[in-house]
Amino acid sequence: MVLTTQPATGSSVTAGSPFPVVATEQDAGGNTITSDSTTAVSLTLASGTGLSCPGAPTAFTSGTASFTCSLTLAATGYALKATAGNFTVTGNNFSVTPAAANKLTYTSQPAGATAGTALSAFSVAVKDTYGNTVTTGTGSTDTILLTVASGPGAFTASSTSSVAAVTGVATFSNITLTTAGAYTLGAADSTRTLTTTVSGSFTISPAAAGKLSFVQGPSDAFAGATMAPGVSVQAQDTYGNATTTNGVTVTLTPSAGVIDSGPTATTNTSGLATFSAVLINNTALGLTLSASATGYTTTPASAAINITVKVTNAANALSDTAADPGTSPSGVATVTYYYCSGLTGTCTASTPGRTQIASPVTSSTGTYTTAWKSQPVNGLYRVVAVALDNAGTVSTSTATPVTIAN
């Protein structure tokens, strides 16, 4: 028996492509034996794996047994082996080359890293439909484009996300992410249309803590009352990722005046400092707060807030008390209170739209108290005390910001 049709020595076949094999039954003189129709021939590989020959084993017919075979694993050193009864014959050595480029596959996966640090090198290969890397020819030098398939951030501008394959493999060694979280990366062929691929999941961890940031900034509040909601400040790395830095003392500082209670808090195991008892006694308009801690970059100034006096119809809140706006209590004859709408602008006894709160009041102690005869609708106002002394001189106090809240 001899293999009269088979891949030639040193030749190659394409992965997945069928190739013919014919075994011929011969006598010792090399003559074809045509009378045997019962002996079956089986085909295997003398070296290599993965041979597929549908219909085998096949009986001799008129001295020959024909097969259509294929191999899908690209490799060298293949050889066929035909067996019929007690006879075995080994064929030529040949190789299998990859089929046409069909898809992309990660040959090594991206692994977790610290924010701002380049990922360890990983690779994407151009493959045929059977998973063989296309090392030569069409597709072997294609440009592979990497993108963020899922995750909270994007590559840094300095990252190299487009790489040309070399012998079918594109290696990425300059990919950096700065936003902490879980990611997967997608790879696509920008030269031709191939099936894309997505990496396994990996995690970017925060870098070292180095700055502070408001999570819940300060809000408008009433003088002498606790600010609500409470202010919260997060320890972060340089890229703005929250860090789990525990036990850092954080201090709030106003742009003017002082915080009378609750200006400090300590970060918890999540790196968050919560200020639940911030209290400012003095009124202020356009006040901002900043947060600082030793070894950390101070927060930018917060959004501006207003600290106003709260006036309601509740008990003990129907009168307004103010110190004498004049230079000498004994010289003041009367004080009259007025309010103007809004928190900004001049408010005097002659300001258009001002409203007198009540009749002028006198005092022997230098403190002048009056009751609101009626309150305006809920909103923001400014209140002034206008003093008239015994010589007829008029003086006006600095406006007090007031919030009517009923």
CATH number at residue 88: 2.60.40.10
Instruction: Give the pTM.
Output: 0.78
- Tell the residue number behind the tokens 């487009």, with chain if given: 162
Question: Which of 26, 8, 10, 18 minimizes the C-alpha distance to 62?
Answer: 26
Same domain, 201 and 214: no
> pLDDT per position in the chain (406 positions), as tens?
999 999 999 999 999 999 999 999 999 899 999 999 899 999 999 988 899 999 889 999 999 999 999 999 999 999 999 999 999 999 999 999 999 999 999 999 999 999 999 999 999 999 999 999 999 999 999 999 999 999 999 999 999 999 999 999 999 999 999 999 999 999 999 999 999 999 999 999 999 999 999 999 999 999 999 999 999 999 999 999 999 999 999 999 999 999 999 999 999 999 999 999 999 999 999 999 999 999 999 999 999 999 998 887 542 333 444 444 444 444 678 888 899 999 989 998 888 889 998 888 887 777 788 777 777 889 999 998 888 888 778 888 888 898 888 8
Instruction: Identify the domain containing residue 66 by its residue range.
Output: 2-97
Q: How far is CA 354 from the centre of its chain?
A: 53
CATH number at residue 227: 2.60.40
d(CA 234, CA 210): 11
Which residue(s) pair with 93 in the sheet?
Answer: 79
Q: What is the pLDDT at residue 321?
A: 45
> Do residues 19 and 96 touch, judged by C-beta distance below 8 A?
no
Listed in sequence order, the residues at least 6 apart from 352 whose beta carbon sits closer than 8 Å to its beta carbon are none
d(CA 104, CA 212): 43
Same domain, 110 and 195: yes
Same domain, 349 and 294: no
Q: What is the pLDDT at residue 295?
A: 95
Q: How many domains does the chain have?
A: 4
Q: What is the pLDDT at residue 266?
A: 98
Q: What is the pLDDT at residue 405?
A: 83
Same domain, 335 and 396: yes
Same domain, 286 and 334: no
Same domain, 259 and 271: yes
Same domain, 360 and 394: yes
Please give the full DSSP string across 187-254, using - where no structure is assigned: EEESSS--B-EEPPPEEEEP--EEEEEEEE----EETTSB-SSPEEEEEEETTS-B----S-EEEEEE
Q: What is the pLDDT at residue 331?
A: 67
Same domain, 326 and 374: yes
Same domain, 288 and 318: no
Strands, E assignment, 255-357: 264-266, 272-275, 284-287, 289-292, 305-311, 319-323, 332-341, 355-356
Same domain, 223 and 277: yes
Where among 180, 205, 230 does a domain terminate? 205
Where among 67, 97, 127 does a domain terminate? 97
Q: Report DSSP state, residue 54.
A: T
Same domain, 201 and 213: no
State which amino acid sits at residue 329. Answer: P
Same domain, 303 and 333: no
Where among 170, 189, 205 does a domain terminate? 205
